[in-house]
Amino acid sequence: MLEHYMKWYEYSLEALGYTVVNARFFDGIRRIVILGMGGSGIVGDIIASIAAESEYPVYVYKDFYIPSNIIDGTTFVLSISYSGNTLETILSTKKALQHTKSVGVIASGGELIELAKRNGLPYIAIRSGLAPRSALPIMLVAAFNLLSTCGIELIAREELMKALDVLKNMDEAERTSRELFNFLKLSKLPLVVATLRYSALAVRIKNELNENSKIPVKVEILPELFHNDIVGWESAEFKDKALLVDSDLTYENKLIQFYAEYLKGLGIDTYILRLNGNVIERFLYGSLVIGITSIKLAQLRGLDPLQTKSISIYKQLLQELKEEIGRVAHSR
Amino acid sequence: MLEHYMKWYEYSLEALGYTVVNARFFDGIRRIVILGMGGSGIVGDIIASIAAESEYPVYVYKDFYIPSNIIDGTTFVLSISYSGNTLETILSTKKALQHTKSVGVIASGGELIELAKRNGLPYIAIRSGLAPRSALPIMLVAAFNLLSTCGIELIAREELMKALDVLKNMDEAERTSRELFNFLKLSKLPLVVATLRYSALAVRIKNELNENSKIPVKVEILPELFHNDIVGWESAEFKDKALLVDSDLTYENKLIQFYAEYLKGLGIDTYILRLNGNVIERFLYGSLVIGITSIKLAQLRGLDPLQTKSISIYKQLLQELKEEIGRVAHSR
């Protein structure tokens, strides 16, 4: 699986060249809703962070349905599911289609691509055969590509292409991964902290440690954590490791630094993941580093990073509940 | 502090009678943005959940600034800060005022009330002298009250009044609290799980255990957790307690039940918090139960539930960084 992370730069270039089928210009779009779960949904979270500087607000929903009040004639809905068979995403996309025809699809195949074909929706069929989480930059580039082709420019193509260069720094990524590996190797339940601006990266770090390394993780976001979570540690009996993600804003780094010192004072071992560049570069590079780290942690623990047994059990349950959930989700 | 939770019903009736100063009708509002942190911000999260059934989508922001793309002429901004002096909320409210005059304020005093007076914004000055977290129903009722007076009806007044009745069931609330207390009393870092529909209640449970009991908590929301977090527990060495919040939807309860059994199978002790009634009744009653429980857990641990030393340290730091944060937040 490691080799797929190693090919992120190559995959990204490939994704830049994908064709958008049923491409057309969508007029009057003011906001974007992204539907997706897990390794596909995180792409939505990252896009939402990057788009904070654009003219389009982006909202991400991760459920079997979406509240009908979030979609109007100015909303573009983007559904992302690597397999194209994620029940949550299929049902919420069908729900969205009851309200609007401004829907696009990113998937490697499955029911979502069929749905796109049947409804004449713009879609990109991306490279198949990977674990969704190791296809992160493919889905990210494809999403920007599809949106831009439909007239929704969240980031200039040149800026995106320049940002992808960070995926070429494999030596540096492996060096940072080694540090992170050493920091996390004995951790039983690390705390991952980021500012709201980088919350999607904190969640990505968690998800990679969950799926690849089989380690539970607690994520907390500042400044909100200073209003409650910080108090939880005052008399805590459980103390492990805290990984903090730095920011491109100076004052946010002062808050990160303050919290690292505060936690250290309580006997919690801390590490600040220092990144460079702009928001998108930090997301890409940070994701690459944690991808490599989480694979190595799995190997250390004698576990297969690719296998996710418990998700298979969940998917079996969904087979049984599919009809019932579909009925309720449709009527909500 | 316990006595304040005991008076929630009384406080709520008082809040129903609050006057909205500078009340006026806002025309053409299509969406709501709520600004607030900690015990005040959670009111926004709860309102967002309740409003999922209304015609207005509600988005909550918890930072020193807000992305400027989220506000347009159809947006109403509601700022909630119990003290009225929360720096994050003051700065993001000022940021909002650069884009719109459709702003309302809920506070017991402080700079936010001054800001409202100076700008002729609709506001409610709520009862002061409580810890923000123990003023939850006051802020919630005041928020619905202000919005409704401004022409934004998220919930009918009769429905709200009927829901408040659950706060009269003190005997039942204390009984459930005793059960929850026994379940949590030896917990070092409990996992709290809810469906997306009840995520604000899971966060409220966490915040109360953080602030009152000084216990760190990890919150996970389903169905998203079935795509990553569930795998983290497969080989986990740290095993504690899992508190799961049930739902008013049958299929969601089947997913909750499945996850409770899955965790139990791994050796994690589980408890399903069973609630009754509609969404707002569940939020109110669930918040009351965890409020009482968290105070009793503090007492058991020999801690003062009211005192939050680490938040005071954070606020000292903010005094130093105030100017710098203000400059950056203003220009974003």
Could you report the per-residue pLDDT of B227-252, keeping only the tens digit for each?
Answer: 999 999 999 999 999 999 999 999 99
Report if residue A274 sits inside a domain.
Answer: yes
Select from A122, A138, A164 the last residue of a domain. Answer: A164
**Chain B closest CA to A316's CA: distance in Å?**
11
In this structure, are B21 and B142 located in the same domain? yes
Domain shared by B157 and B291, yes or no: no
Contact A232 B238 (CB under 8 A): no
In this prediction, residues B182-203 reach a mean pLDDT of 98
What is the C-alpha to C-alpha distance for residues A218 and A210, in angstroms, rounded to an integer? 10
φ/ψ region of B109 (left if φ > 0, alpha if ψ in -120 to 50, else beta) reads: left
3-state secondary structure A12-30: HHHHHCCCCECCCCCCCCC
Same domain, B106 and B210: no
pLDDT in tens, A135-182: 999 999 999 999 999 999 999 999 999 999 999 989 999 999 999 999
Query: Could you tell me the residue range of the domain that residue A126 belongs to?
Result: 2-164
Residue A332 has pLDDT above 80, yes or no: no
pLDDT of B169 over the 90 cut: no
Q: Is the pLDDT of residue A106 over 80?
A: yes
Indicate if A229 and A280 belong to the same structural domain.
yes
- Residue B223: its chain A contacts at CB < 8 A? 37, 62-64, 88
Which chain A residue shows the shortest CA-CA distance from B37? A224
From A130, A164, A198, the end of a domain falls on: A164
> Between B69, B214, B303, which is nearest A55 by CB?
B69
Instruction: State whether residue B268 is helix, strand or coil.
Output: coil
In a domain, A312, yes or no: no
How many domains in chain A? 2
Contacts with B111 (C-beta within 8 Å, 6 or more apart), sequence order: B84, B85, B90
Task: Please indicate, yes or no, whether residues A33 and A177 belong to a single structural domain of this protein.
Answer: no
Residue found by looking up tokens 């494999």 in the block: A170
Please identify, among A164, A195, A217, the residue that sits at the C-terminal boundary of a domain. Answer: A164
Quick check: A93 pLDDT over 90? yes
Residue B159, pLDDT > 90, answer yes
Q: Measure the N-to-C terminal CA separation of chain A; round to a whole number of Å.
A: 40
- Is B240 contained in some domain? yes
> Do B222 and B78 share a domain, yes or no?
no
Residue B331: its chain A contacts at CB < 8 A?
none
Q: B154 and B184 in one domain? A: no
Is A129 a domain residue?
A: yes
Q: What is the rounded distance in angstroms from the CA atom of residue B195 to the CA atom of residue A63?
A: 9
pLDDT in the model for residue B68: 86
The answer to whether position B185 is within a domain reads yes
Bridge-based pairing of strands B31-35 and A241-245 is: unpaired
B190 in the same domain as B137: no
Question: Average pLDDT over chain A, rounded to whole?
Answer: 96
- Assess whether pLDDT exceeds 90 at residue B330: no
pLDDT digits over B58-97, tens only?
A: 999 999 999 989 999 999 999 999 999 999 999 999 999 9
Residue A61's domain is classified under what CATH number? 3.40.50.10490
| B285 lies in the same domain as B246 | yes
Q: Which of A70-74, B172-176, B195-199, B270-274 has the lowest mean pLDDT?
A: A70-74
Instruction: Indicate whether A53 pLDDT > 90.
Output: no
**ipTM surpasses 0.95:** yes
In a domain, B215, yes or no: yes
**Taking residues B203-226, what's their average pLDDT?**
98
Q: What is the mean pLDDT of residues A72-88?
A: 97
| Best of B152, B231, B256, B299 to mutate (most A CBs within 10 Å, chain A) | B231
Q: Examine the domain organization and report whether B33 and B122 are in the same domain.
A: yes
B288-311 pLDDT, tens per residue? 999 999 999 999 999 999 999 999
What is the side-by-side order of every strand in the sheet holding A31-35? A58-61, A31-35, A75-81, A103-107, A123-125
Q: What confidence tier does A68 reach under pLDDT thresholds 50, 70, 90?
A: confident
- A86 and A179 share one domain: no
- Determine the pLDDT at residue A223: 98
A245 shares its domain with A109 = no
A32 domain-assigned = yes
Does position B332 have pLDDT exceeding 90, yes or no?
Answer: no
Instruction: Please give the Cα distance from A271 to A269 (Å, whole number).
Output: 7
Residue A200 pLDDT exceeds 80: yes
- Residue B217 inside a domain? The answer is yes
Q: Which residue has the tokens 């580093």?
A: A289
Report the pLDDT value the prediction gives residue A329, as an integer from 0 to 100. 84
